[in-house]
Copies of this chain bind each other. A is one copy, B any other.
Amino acid sequence: MPLDEHGLIARYFAPFAGQGAHGLLDDAATLAVTPGCELVVTSDAVVADVHFFTSDPPASIARKALAVNISDLAAKGAVPVGFVITLSLNETCDENWIEAFAGGLNEASQFFICPLLGGDTVRTPGPVNISITAFGEVPAGQMVMRQGANCGDYVYVTGTIGDAALGLALCKTPKPAWADHLTPAESRDLIDHYLHPSPKLALRDALRLHASSAMDISDGLAGDLAKLCKASQVTSTIQREKIPLSVAASKALFVAPELYDMIITGGDDYEILCTISGAKASAFEEQARLCKVQVTPIGVINEEGGLPVFVHEDQNMTYTRGSYSHF
């Protein structure tokens, strides 16, 4: 006989629930906040066939659903302290699917040291829908905001840009022509970026100490930079050739220069975009080096004056629909 909701929760989710979850047997969890700190709260929902493929491995879906929330906490300078999940499941989600999903969630929860606190499980006649709300802590008043970038600040990004968007393109049928120019390892690496984002949690203290503003890049560099600039009432000038690319992305771009738009407007990077004043730049870079997060200055903040400008050779480009919007 298949397990009911409570049986599934008890078997697959309760074993890795945190202390405040009370064994997932109550209607609510408790969460104590460290004195002197405040909570940072972020929510992200993902929907099958919008944000992931129904055929993606359930463990990968789970890890990504948590990772995209952890990425927000990282960008805000927060230490994760827990999360809740609401899972809307449909008839395609048998016990094997749920076991694999819970396994991936458990692994991600342990990796990010972010315990499961509670949630809700419901049936839907529609696509699988996963909503996670994650909690982090910062010393009171020290959340790193989108707002705060100042003229003259350097614009930094972590990691490399565009890999997930290219990875997503590789998951589609037919495969793009440029795929033939990549080694199998390079293709796997791009797809892995799409399936398994690695939020730059190690950078959280450096951001809190040095960044004038920050956000994670989830909807494409161009669009997210425009949002950060708008919140700070500034604009920016980016040197396109300084945007860090992986070897695989560089190879793809070499054979298909038109991929550039996908690289800087595609989604799912889950890198961090931040601004650092000139006075703090070397200390920030040093701290990033110590915590093994690659950071690259790609441009500067300018006075308000419209959309961020991407400079390439003699051309100045802006992206009016720069953001890959799921909405």
Contact = CB atoms under 8 A, between A and B. Distances in A.
A123 interface: yes
A217 to B, nearest CB: 11
Interface residues of A, number: 67
A322 B117 CA distance: 27
A250 interface: no
A122 B5 CA distance: 26
A126 B123 contact: no
A84 interface: yes
Most buried by B among A22, A27, A40: A27
A39 B43 CA distance: 17
A118 interface: yes
A129 B124 CA distance: 9
A311 interface: no
A33 B38 contact: yes
Contacts of A85: 43
A42 interface: yes
B5 A28 contact: no
A242 to B, nearest CB: 24
A288 interface: no
Nearest to A41: B29
A295 to B, nearest CB: 19
Interface of A: 4-6, 20, 22, 25-33, 35, 38-47, 49-51, 72-73, 75-76, 78, 84-88, 117-127, 129, 131, 133, 135-136, 138, 140, 143, 145-147, 215-216, 227, 231, 325-327
12 contacts: A6-B227, A25-B147, A26-B76, A27-B72, A27-B146, A41-B135, A43-B85, A45-B88, A45-B122, A45-B129, A46-B122, A49-B125
